[in-house]
Structure 1
Amino acid sequence: MPEQERLRRLLRQVQEGRLDLLRDQLHPGDIPEANSWRWGRLGDTLLHHAARSGHLDVLEYLVQELGMDVEVVNGDYKRPIHEAASMGHRECVAFLLERGASVDCLKKSDWTPLMMACTRKDLEVIKTLVEHGANPLLKNKDGWNCFHIASREGHPQVLQYLLEVSPGSWDTESTTKRTPLHTAAMHGCSQVVELLLERCQYKPDSRDKCGVTPFMDAIQNGHVSIARLLLEKHQACPTAMDALGAQPLHRAAVTAQDGAIQFLVTELGVGVNGRATSQELTALHYAAKEGHTHTIQTLLSLGANIHAKDGKGRSALHAACAGQQVAATRILLRAGLRDAPDATGTLARQLARKPDVIQLFQETHVST
């Protein structure tokens, strides 16, 4: 058969774990060439595919009988052990380690097999790697160690194990100064947040490079139960400001988290008309700029001042028109906000570019 068709069949047999057919198709003359056969954009070898699919018998055959190199890399510098670890194939991981695979080898972006394993809940794979000397404290190019990765994935059992074998692994920050607590709060991993608050010593309201706290992360992603945890068990500040002077309320308006806005204003007493210090924007300005119509209505129902101006004398209507937000402009006009000039004399309609926005002013009898 043509060589290309033969290679496609070999790949399919490896992926399906058909060792019997694979033996029939391969012959001694293939041994020197086996490491050079590549598939796909990244140039994966048969060994990569066997490890990814978790077929131990095929993996053993390729290494022990064909002599394939366990440290062969693809275009991302990923080795077969990365594949096996990332897919949770413990027996394949153990075999590759026994055959001399480097336990802390790095793929592109400096990810180790242990980091790849921590994206899954398979604790046995993680234990196998650690027992063979994997270092839990190594960081990838973004500054994340495996504890940080497991916090993102929401695996409390993995985190408990990592704390046992490497008690200091929690004390880490990414290159942007984000802690595992930030990450768990952002992704809504409530069990992980509880564990981190009980077992680790993160400072209340620790800030990343943008000044964002874990409480802000929870609020802007709508994880109100986690925000409560941070208030009750970590003394989080509900009005802390980020590097631009925005409070959690403002960040919730940007991401249209109406439930979080209700929580902040009605339960915690946060002022609905509070301003972000950098440009004196209110939450209504932020919601209008993003075009979040329901959030605009929520803020108005909570007492937001529709006539509030920012540091340039612009109202929420200016923000909606500048963002070409048709529906938001309609709501604000119907709520009684008019085309008043800002501090520079610019009218909201002058910021509009969409014909639909301009038409709204005509429909509501705003002077043009």
Structure 2
Amino acid sequence: MTEFTIVLPPELHQLYLNRMIYDWKIGRVQVVFNNINMKIPDFRKKFLCFLNMLDITLQRKLARICDFNFNDTALLQCCHNNYLPLIQWCIYHGVDVNQCNCFGVSPLFVSGQEGHTELVKLLMEKKADINKCDQNGVSPLLMACQRNHKDVVKLLLDNKADINKCKDGGIFPLLMACQINHIDIVKLLIDNKADINNCADNELSPLLVACERNNKEIVNLLLKNKAEINKCTHDGLSSLYIACRNNYIEIVEFLLDSKADINKCTNDGVTPLFIACQKNNIDIVAVLLDNRADIDKCTEDGTSSLYVACQENNIEIVKALLDQQADIKKCRNDGASPLFIACLMNHIEVLKVLLD
């Protein structure tokens, strides 16, 4: 965007650099290192040469100054922008490689976040804490997984990063990789012995997340590595339930072929068949019925799959259930029958099928 560039004559360069040093000294660290000129390699070289001509005591003082707003050091800012010579200058002058900003972000964390593999390697050589988390409990490994930086993930794992370390809410690297569909990261984590059945605070497992994301390749990979197929959330939602609810037929078929419990209920007694009937997922209903799902299994209040199909006016599902001998007289705990709810909702076509 050259139309907004101001070109300074050479006699003003020294004045400009002095102003940057002044800003730095008073704690405007982000202002200095986010200066648009810092994006220009030749300017950075000139800036570094200017720094090296300063008194050594001042250089060391500058290296340790933190931003007055966010507590960023020059090292943290340079790691974010991948300014290697300036990073080496900071380290030479004794900056603490583990010093964090007000959000708990360390130089290693931000280097991994931005995918700067060589910087991560350099910082680890300088004894950076590989598991140092930000204020939300996010580790460098978790962030690298989230950003899909495979080389950074491999480097961290090769250096014994805590593979199962969780952030607030219990999110851990394998769960994050499944959530964002990063198959290569998932493979890498599994190869490095990540706990495949580890769960978030709500009992959400990697397999459940992969099913929610409709990623058959990841689901297959997890099951091959002995993921617990019937593991449920704290609400009792199973992987099969989620796939049926979301109408992911390939995932449903794959889970059933892998011996998922076809009648596993939620805490409220809702079966995979029930939710498929409620959501009008006719192809899923057909697959479940072909695999001998319990057609008359009811929720805690006695609602059957046939009842909910009548309630939702899902006529093709009503027909499919009746073809498989669903109990047309099965009532809820309050005495309401499928015929009653069809009358109440004025679902004429459903009534015709029920009375036929």
Q: Same fold (TM over 0.5)?
A: yes
The CA deviation string for residues 174-221 of structure 1, in whole angstroms up to 9 with x for no partner, is 343443222223333322333323333x44522332222222222222
Residues 215 and 227 in structure 1, CA contact (< 8 A), matched pair in contact too: yes
Look at both structures and tell me which one has the larger radius of gyration over its CA atoms.
2
Aligned to 2:130: 136
Determine the C-alpha separation between the residues in 2 that align with 1:310 and 1:194: 38
Summarize the alignment of residues 65-144 of structure 1 with structure 2, pairs less than 5 Å apart.
Answer: 69=62, 71-73=65-67, 75-98=69-92, 100-144=94-138
Residues 44 and 74 in structure 1, CA contact (< 8 A), matched pair in contact too: no
Change (3 A) 1:321 1:364: closer
1:137 Cα offset (Å): 1.8
Determine the C-alpha separation between the residues in 2 that align with 1:73 and 1:21: 29
Determine the C-alpha separation between the residues in 2 that align with 1:32 and 1:87: 19
1:150 aligns with 2:144: yes
2:211 maps to a residue whose letter is: I
Determine the C-alpha separation between the residues in 2 that align with 1:360 and 1:73: 68
Determine the C-alpha separation between the residues in 1 that align with 2:86 and 2:126: 14
1:244 aligns with 2:229: no
Aligned residues: 333
SS at match of 2:145: helix
Residues 50 and 56 in structure 1, CA contact (< 8 A), matched pair in contact too: no
Determine the C-alpha separation between the residues in 1 that align with 2:11 and 2:197: 58
Q: Identity over the aligned pairs, expressed in percent?
A: 17
The CA deviation string for residues 5-26 of structure 1, in whole angstroms up to 9 with x for no partner, is xxxx9xx659xxx787895595
1:278 Cα offset (Å): 0.9
SS at match of 2:265: coil
1:258 aligns with 2:252: no
Aligned to 1:310: 299
Unaligned runs of 5+ in 2: 323-327
1:45 aligns with 2:31: yes
Change (3 A) 1:94 1:362: farther
Aligned to 1:182: 175
Determine the C-alpha separation between the residues in 1 that align with 2:184 and 2:82: 22
Determine the C-alpha separation between the residues in 2 that align with 1:173 and 1:99: 34
Output the TM-score relative to the length of structure 1: 0.68
Change (3 A) 1:37 1:318: farther
Indicate which of 217, 235, 256 corresponds to 1:225: 217
SS at match of 2:113: coil
SS at match of 1:135: coil
Indicate which of 40, 55, 68 corresponds to 2:40: 55
User: RMSD value over aligned CA atoms?
Assistant: 4.7
1:45 maps to a residue whose letter is: V
Output the TM-score relative to the length of structure 2: 0.70
1:206 maps to a residue whose letter is: N
1:259 maps to a residue whose letter is: E
Change (3 A) 1:56 1:296: farther
1:55 maps to a residue whose letter is: I
Change (3 A) 1:172 1:30: closer
1:160 maps to a residue whose letter is: K
Determine the C-alpha separation between the residues in 2 that align with 1:25 and 1:335: 83
Summarize the alignment of residues 284-295 of structure 1 with structure 2, pairs less than 5 Å apart.
Answer: 284-286=273-275, 295=281
Change (3 A) 1:126 1:305: same
Change (3 A) 1:21 1:235: farther
Indicate which of 165, 188, 201 corresponds to 1:209: 201
Residues 119 and 153 in structure 1, CA contact (< 8 A), matched pair in contact too: yes
Indicate which of 182, 187, 199 corresponds to 1:194: 187
Determine the C-alpha separation between the residues in 2 that align with 1:61 and 1:112: 27
Aligned to 2:325: none
1:247 Cα offset (Å): 1.5
Indicate which of 269, 277, 285 corresponds to 1:280: 269
Change (3 A) 1:81 1:198: same
1:310 Cα offset (Å): 1.4
1:248 maps to a residue whose letter is: S
1:104 Cα offset (Å): 2.0
Determine the C-alpha separation between the residues in 1 that align with 2:35 and 2:314: 54
Residues 221 and 257 in structure 1, CA contact (< 8 A), matched pair in contact too: no
